[in-house]
Structure 1
Amino acid sequence: MRRETLERHQVWVYLGAVAVGLISGSLLPGLSDTADALLWPVLALLLYATFTQVPMASVPAAFTEGRFIAAALLGNFVLLPAVVWALIQFIPADQALQLGLLLVLLVPCTDWFITFSQLGSGDATRATALTPVLLVLQLLLLPLYLWLMADADLRVVFAPADVWPAFVVVLLPLGLAVLTELWAARSRTGAGVVLRLGWWPVPLLAVVVLLVAVAQVGSVLAGAQLLPVVLGVVVLFLGISLLLSRSLAGVARLDPAQGRTLAFSMGTRNSFIVLPLALALPAGWETVAIVVVMQSLVELLGMIFCLWFVPRVLFPDPCSPTGERQPRVR
């Protein structure tokens, strides 16, 4: 199997993993403790594999594309946070539901955004250069966004005694990934390791969602009534993000490939980064992790639609003087 084939069909892998996890957790409730114990190391391994695919050395190159980077940063860190704030004003007054949606919708994706940009005829080179910029800025800005928008007392919710494992699970793989990238830049062996690690995120994420389903099956079933709310907010967010990307691309005079990349950047969110924080919250806040997982699955289904809609409707190839579509340049 080619890696591109696996990534194209990843949503079905994750849905299957959720189904297996819910069934296993329901039939064998004793598995929940084992799933809890395995979840953190598997999640750390997933983040390490994912971060090795984020080329930190590309940060300077990203800023050579002034109009594109300006549109991406304005869309992801100014316009979309305002959209998220507006959307949560209309959801039920449930602090865990609100916090879950804030966590996952405020941070732009740094992993399958590149995959979907490539599959959707975007500019994978610019997507790759943009990714480390998005990662650094979201780590810096997320606490500010939560402080401004969340109703919950974050000093209680994110008590250091509860959430320090989450920061370790994020920062340690990030540091190791940077060291691995430096090794890959100087060694053919290291470059080969990074290439092979590119296969890991999809199966590892499938294992993570399976373990979450097993460990949280009670919370998932109890919170099933939240699915319509999460579905509605996520679908509305995706629709607004696509419209905003079209407007921004027009203002910035981006070509169709750049516009598609912008659309996938604004439409995808970084559930990998915030899932450790959601899982580390104290008792009573289990809904936050469930919302994060729900959002990622709904988003992936939305990306199946976007792979058709973005290159054919939102940012179609320009027509030649005869009215025929010009061939795409890969």
Structure 2
Amino acid sequence: MIERTTLERHQVWVYLAAIGLGLALGMAAPELAPVFEAVLWPVLGALLYATFTQVPLVHLGAALRDGRFVATVLGGNVLAVPLLVAALLPLVPDDPAVRLGVVLVLVVPCTDWFITFTHLARGDTARAIAVTPLILLAQLALLPGYVWLLVGGDVTAEVPLAHVATAFGALIVLPLALAWVTERRAEGHGRALIERLAWAPVPLLAAVVFLIAASQVGAVARALPLLADVSTAFVLFLAGTLVLGVALARIVGLPPRAGRTLTFSLGTRNSFVVLPLALALPPSWQAASIVIVVQSLVELFGMLAFLRLVPRLLPDR
């Protein structure tokens, strides 16, 4: 039987196949687009619930014990990464929806496959698990401010906040609360359910990108001319975070394994936590969700390079 780490290591090919199948079906049967859109929301909610159950929400206090590591991870994600995003924005097409998608996805640090890739690169998985809930709460609190600063108040004024707030509550707050309850119950009754749910994110994310491709095939076609420039910015972001993570680890004096964890924290982004917010936008803003899906694919290929480079740049002493 296939192991979960093997599935996670090759997940990019699963997603590419799902997108290709979704685009083909969307072009062959465009009348099914409303059905795909209706199914997308519960599947996305299930994906976020399964993902959040892998974040140790009930052990938030453990994240505060290693002050130097926590301060470096938060400082890198809260200050350095947004500055890098601001420097890259001039390379992105001057389209409000595209820029909103870029900012949404790049300022939000990852809380799921960040741990997987940290483990595969022989990083400090325990530190990654401990700091993850802190990153999750910080990103949700600071996201509106980053969007306002980097995209502009004139653009965000056009966004229907009521729709976004509804999506945030239904697809982030509710799964987050259910995940917390699940973790509390798992502490007293074993972790079999949590371990089974750990298999769910990859197939559920494949289902999500399939449904997006099938339902948004027109938006994908319209966004194609923009995707090359956006992908270039995403590749430069990965290169910048690689340099930033290694430099910060050496400046602060983190142990090599903790330094690798820091670098993966800066390089990985939380694409499908912000995806519901983009999907809640009006049709004129559909490019934002396409940009977010593209970023996740670019990042997954980038992580294959990170797995080779990060251990070499931060070798064990």
Q: What's the TM-score bracket when you normalise by the shorter of the two chains? A: over 0.9
CA contact 1:54–1:111 (8 Å) conserved in 2: yes
Equivalent in the alignment of 1:52: 53
CA contact 1:122–1:261 (8 Å) conserved in 2: yes
Rounded Cα–Cα distance in structure 2 between residues aligned with 1:166 and 1:57: 21
Q: Secondary structure at the match of 1:16?
A: helix
Deviation string, structure 1 residues 101-137 (Cα, Å, up to 9, x no partner): 0000000000000000001111110000011000000
Equivalent in the alignment of 1:180: 182
Equivalent in the alignment of 2:167: 165
Instruction: Please state how far the C-alpha of 1:153 moved relative to its aligned partner.
Output: 3.1
Rounded Cα–Cα distance in structure 2 between residues aligned with 1:316 and 1:275: 35
Rounded Cα–Cα distance in structure 2 between residues aligned with 1:6 and 1:89: 37
* Letter of the structure 2 residue corresponding to residue 96 of structure 1: A
Deviation string, structure 1 residues 170-219 (Cα, Å, up to 9, x no partner): 1110000000011011112xx21111000000000000000000010111
Q: Once superposed, what is the RMSD of the aligned Cα atoms?
A: 1.1
Instruction: Please state how far the C-alpha of 1:165 moved relative to its aligned partner.
Output: 2.9
Instruction: Please state how far the C-alpha of 1:161 moved relative to its aligned partner.
Output: 4.0
Equivalent in the alignment of 2:83: 82
* Letter of the structure 2 residue corresponding to residue 206 of structure 1: A
CA contact 1:62–1:129 (8 Å) conserved in 2: yes
Q: Secondary structure at the match of 1:89?
A: helix
User: Rg bigger for which structure?
Assistant: 1
CA contact 1:167–1:277 (8 Å) conserved in 2: no
Equivalent in the alignment of 1:209: 209
Rounded Cα–Cα distance in structure 2 between residues aligned with 1:25 and 1:208: 14
Q: 1:102 to 1:162 in 2, by over 3 A?
A: closer
Instruction: Please state how far the C-alpha of 1:309 moved relative to its aligned partner.
Output: 1.0
Rounded Cα–Cα distance in structure 1 between residues aligned with 2:157 and 2:7: 41
Instruction: Please state how far the C-alpha of 1:58 moved relative to its aligned partner.
Output: 2.7
**4+ aligned runs moved over 4 Å, structure 1:** none
Instruction: Please state how far the C-alpha of 1:162 moved relative to its aligned partner.
Output: 5.5
TM-score (ref. length: structure 1): 0.93
Q: Secondary structure at the match of 1:156?
A: coil
Q: Secondary structure at the match of 2:123?
A: coil
Rounded Cα–Cα distance in structure 1 between residues aligned with 2:247 and 2:58: 30
TM-score (ref. length: structure 2): 0.97
Q: Secondary structure at the match of 1:92?
A: coil
CA contact 1:58–1:128 (8 Å) conserved in 2: no
* Letter of the structure 2 residue corresponding to residue 158 of structure 1: P
Q: 1:32 to 1:166 in 2, by over 3 A?
A: farther
Rounded Cα–Cα distance in structure 1 between residues aligned with 2:163 and 2:53: 29
1:266 aligns with 2:260: no
Rounded Cα–Cα distance in structure 1 between residues aligned with 2:62 and 2:165: 34
Instruction: Please state how far the C-alpha of 1:142 moved relative to its aligned partner.
Output: 0.3
**Identity of matched residues, %:** 51
Instruction: Please state how far the C-alpha of 1:250 moved relative to its aligned partner.
Output: 1.0
Rounded Cα–Cα distance in structure 2 between residues aligned with 1:213 and 1:167: 24
* Letter of the structure 2 residue corresponding to residue 37 of structure 1: A
* Letter of the structure 2 residue corresponding to residue 159 of structure 1: L
Equivalent in the alignment of 1:102: 103
Equivalent in the alignment of 1:327: none
Instruction: Please state how far the C-alpha of 1:156 moved relative to its aligned partner.
Output: 2.5
Equivalent in the alignment of 1:328: none
Q: Number of matched residues?
A: 315
1:240 aligns with 2:240: yes
Rounded Cα–Cα distance in structure 1 between residues aligned with 2:63 and 2:229: 36
CA contact 1:7–1:202 (8 Å) conserved in 2: yes
Which runs of structure 2 are paired with 1:279-298 in the superposition (5 Å)?
279-298=279-298
Q: Secondary structure at the match of 1:153?
A: helix
Rounded Cα–Cα distance in structure 2 between residues aligned with 1:301 and 1:64: 33
Q: Secondary structure at the match of 1:316?
A: coil
Which runs of structure 2 are paired with 1:20-35 in the superposition (5 Å)?
20-35=21-36
Equivalent in the alignment of 1:6: 7
Instruction: Please state how far the C-alpha of 1:163 moved relative to its aligned partner.
Output: 4.5
Q: Secondary structure at the match of 2:157?
A: helix
Rounded Cα–Cα distance in structure 2 between residues aligned with 1:286 and 1:264: 29
Equivalent in the alignment of 1:155: 157
Deviation string, structure 1 residues 283-315 (Cα, Å, up to 9, x no partner): 200000000000001100111111111112x21
Rounded Cα–Cα distance in structure 2 between residues aligned with 1:162 and 1:121: 38
* Letter of the structure 1 residue corresponding to residue 315 of structure 2: P
When structure 1 is superposed on structure 2, of 220-229 and 275-284 the one drifting more is 220-229
1:275 aligns with 2:275: yes
Instruction: Please state how far the C-alpha of 1:317 moved relative to its aligned partner.
Output: 2.2
